[in-house]
Structure 1
Amino acid sequence: MGAVESPVDEKADYLPEEATNILKSLASEWEDVLDANALQVIPLKGAMTNEVFQIKWPTTQETSRKVIVRIYGEGVEVFFDRDDEIRTFEFMSQHGQGPRLLGRFANGRIEEFINARTLSASDLQDPNISALIAVKLKEFHDLDMPCPKQVHLWDRLRNWLSEARSLCCPKEAEAFYLDTIEKEISMLEKELSGPHQRIGFCHNDLQYGNIMLDEETNSLTIIDYEYASYNPIAYDIANHFCEMAADYHTETPHILDFSKYPDLEQRQLFVYAYLSSSGEEPSDSEVEYLVHEVEKFTLPNHLFWGIWGIISGYVNKIDFDYKEYAKQRFQEYWSRKPFVLGSVGPSPESVIDDTST
């Protein structure tokens, strides 16, 4: 997940020696850098999968040279294949979709610095920015990636659930209703799969920290492709809508506010901008159909990030209350399911408060 600058002590010893050597080597090739060894290291706040740093060098120009260093989080390979993610990153940069890859080291990489600002939580509520995101997301979905064009969502959910169950003690597994969730995944797959489903290359983590805005050109760049894969496009839009409930830069970054979930008009405007970006005017029925599909796909999205939260609580050392976050996603799943699917089934009113081991 994305990050923003948080100035602290600027020390190179935050970085692995291999990364520092690559950085100095890169800087020594830039004629405007005054001293390749005089690198400043600034940790960026808000990332929840990796550690992210901005690196600066003083130059002969008015502006400094900058790059981004990403150190992969420990244990997060359970969520995605790192080699797939690197291939995606390289494909995206070759096709002008994201930052260039400048170097790789054992547990991370060095990326081009994008001269744009990371969006904030409030930006997602801005109708002009929201329309830009819709258009950019359609462009992303239409990428022809060199990999099988099949839905990954359901297998990934089952694999993650299996991992979560292996990590949890019986009490915690019961508190999170993990046995029930297996049945829910099968029910959702049956309910939400069909021949008319539109499949595209999905980002799967389109929160505000993964979107950069160049305010001079009014253009967006989508970054961080760890979770990217082919999936139903309605799922990716649903994920983006659910992220409007989050603000990862507060004192309680794990707390979600679902009153910020976009209302019907906001959702219709987003879907209209998405569908019309290809140059053809969508019909009202096309817009309504996709809006309805997106609502249904909020349900597997809550399960996806709920299970992610459980696993992350065990494998990730970043300061974030992953299990409380998971609890909120599961609560939202159970409360929304009857309204979205019109069927109740086994629905715990809320997860048990005591989910500690």
Structure 2
Amino acid sequence: MGDTMEDVVLVRIYGNKTELLVDREEELKSFRVLQSHGCAPQLYCTFNNGLCYEFMQGEALDPQHVCNPTIFRLIARRLAKIHAIHAHNGWIPKSNLWVKMRKYFSLIPTEFEMEAVNGRYDALRVPVPWYTLCFLPCNSLQLPASSPFCSRIGYTGFKREVPSPRVLEDEMSWMKEVLSNLQSPVVLCHNDLLCKNIIYNEKRGLWVPPVASFVPLAPPPRSTNPGDVQFIDYEYSGYNYQAYDIGNHFNEFAGVSEVDYSLYPSRELQFQWLGAYLEAYKEHKGLNSDVTEKEVEVLYVQVNQFALASHFFWGLWALIQAKYSKIDFDFLGYAIVRLNQYFKMKPEVTALTLPE
């Protein structure tokens, strides 16, 4: 290939049963809209079980990168650009979050063959009927020792960690009622902005000034070119609540393989991030780009409450993946982590109130 990567393309083959989770037609529609606005790689071709698109040069980020003030301002401004894309022909978009969440709920397995799901669960040698599982609150997550997520338990301990269908359905109803009333705008969203879906190129980009209204977390860089970020993997993109997309990204500060929710962004960092986002969002919408503290506070409350929906959504997703995916990953353990975090953070974030 020589010294450059200019001729490299990416070919993505769809995973086993991913058509249950991803609407491929909607993915391509969103991909093309984003590409037309300079927010996605060049799409070269599609085929029955995959697609081929431009390789984005740069570094895929890790959790330690996304809390860097220079980089997170780039991310905030890039996401604002996507969120500001107008729907065509005066169409008023609606979120598909609740419909998709309900679909995932209908697809969760009725039982888990533990050895088939993950050979590490050697203590659990019988199928676990899903309808027998119940959720009991606990202070710490417990999983088999060989799982990357926590310590070993037996069958009884496992049952404590997984919500029953009744509990899941009640929580979905509660979220739809409460979160839908937060007045978060429905915009075109990425919906899966984990760290590895953000590509940073330090050689490309324009100067992004710190938001004047807020004290930066670190001194601004001396360079007038902090680089640029691009987002990849638009499988789950579509119209959704603005606050969901941001809250989902904040959840991803914790990582995936070794989840650590102590890395969830602090209020101070969030205020900086949201200030940069709102400034760019207003610019792209043709509005006065001045950002008030009240505007940031409103978005802060919306984002942290919608972060609950993100945990719940990916918890259901991981349960389905545990049944069908051929990837060597502890999806069942990951589902428990996300659902556990949902219940853990629910009292704290629901206590937040919108400013008068």
> TM-score of the superposition, structure 2-length normalised?
0.74
| Distance apart, 1:325 and its partner CA | 0.5
Let me know the Cα RMSD of the aligned residues: 2.0
1:46-85 matches, within 5 Å, as 58=1, 62-63=3-4, 65-85=7-27
Match of 2:130 in 1: 170
Distance in 2 between residues matched to 1:74 and 1:145, nearest whole Å = 32
Q: Does 1:332 align with 2:341?
A: yes
Q: Which has the higher contact order (CA 8 A, sep 6+)?
A: 2
Distance change in 2, residues 1:76/1:288 (3 Å)? same
SS in 2 for 1:282: coil
Q: 2:325 pairs with 316, 320, 329, which one? A: 316
Q: Which amino acid aligns with 2:270?
A: R
Note the C-alpha offset of 1:221: 1.2
**Aligned-partner Cα distance in 2 for 1:180–1:233:** 26
Distance in 2, Cα, partners of 1:145 & 1:165: 36
What is the CA–CA distance in structure 2 between the aligned matches of 1:189 and 1:271, rounded to whole Å? Answer: 24
C-alpha deviation, 1:339, in angstroms: 1.5
Q: Give the aligned partner of residue 221 of structure 2.
A: none
Q: In 1, distance between residues paired with 2:111 and 2:25?
A: 24
- The CA distance in 2 between the partners of 1:167 and 1:83, in whole Å, is 30
**Which residue number in structure 2 is paired with residue 18 of structure 1?**
none
Distance (Å, rounded) in 1 between the aligned partners of 2:200 and 2:65: 10
Q: Which residue of 2 aligns with 1:8?
A: none
Shift of the 172–102 alpha-carbon distance from structure 1 to 2, 3 Å rule, reads farther
Is the Cα contact below 8 Å between 1:98 and 1:222 reproduced in 2? yes
How far apart, in 2, do the equivalents of 1:334 and 1:122 lie?
A: 26
- Aligned counterpart, 2:69: 127
What is the identity percentage for the equivalent residue pairs of Structure 1 and Structure 2? 34
Paired position in structure 2 for 1:215? 202
Q: Which amino acid aligns with 2:323?
A: Y
Matching residue of 1:193 = 180
Deviation, structure 1 residue 109: 1.3
- C-alpha distance in structure 2 between counterparts of 1:228 and 1:167, whole Å: 30
Partner of 1:288: 297
Give, in whole Å, the separation in 1 of the partners of 2:3 and 2:95.
48
Give the conservation status (yes or no) of the 8 Å contact 2:44–2:54: yes
Q: Structure 1 stretches (4+) deviating beyond 6 angstroms?
A: none
8 A contact 2:110–2:130 mirrored in 1: no
Distance 1:293 1:67, change over 3 A: same
Whole-Å separation in 1 of the counterparts to 2:182 and 2:340? 31
Which of 99, 108, 112 lines up with 1:155 in the alignment?
99
TM-score (norm 1): 0.73
Amino acid in the other structure paired with 1:113: F
Question: Which of 254, 275, 278 is residue 272 of structure 1 equivalent to?
Answer: 275
Could you list the runs of 5+ residues in structure 2 that have no partner in the other structure? 113-128, 135-158, 205-226, 284-288
Q: Look up the SS of the partner of 1:328 in the other structure.
A: helix
| Amino acid in structure 1 at the alignment position of 2:23 | D
Counterparts of 1:226 and 1:296, CA distance in 2: 24
Aligned length: 278
> Deviations 1:153-178 (Å, cap 9, x if unpaired)?
11111110111155653356544223
Residue 181 of structure 2 aligns to a residue whose secondary structure is: coil
- Does 1:225 pair with 2:212? no
Match of 1:52 in 2: none
Correspondence 1:262 to 2:258: no
Name 1:205's counterpart in structure 2: 192
The aligned counterpart of 1:183 is 170
Residue equivalent to 1:45: none
Indicate if the aligned counterparts of 1:165 and 1:173 stay in contact, CA closer than 8 A: no
* Residues 173 and 308 of structure 1: CA distance in aligned 2, closer, same or farther (over 3 Å): farther
Letter in 2 for 1:307: L
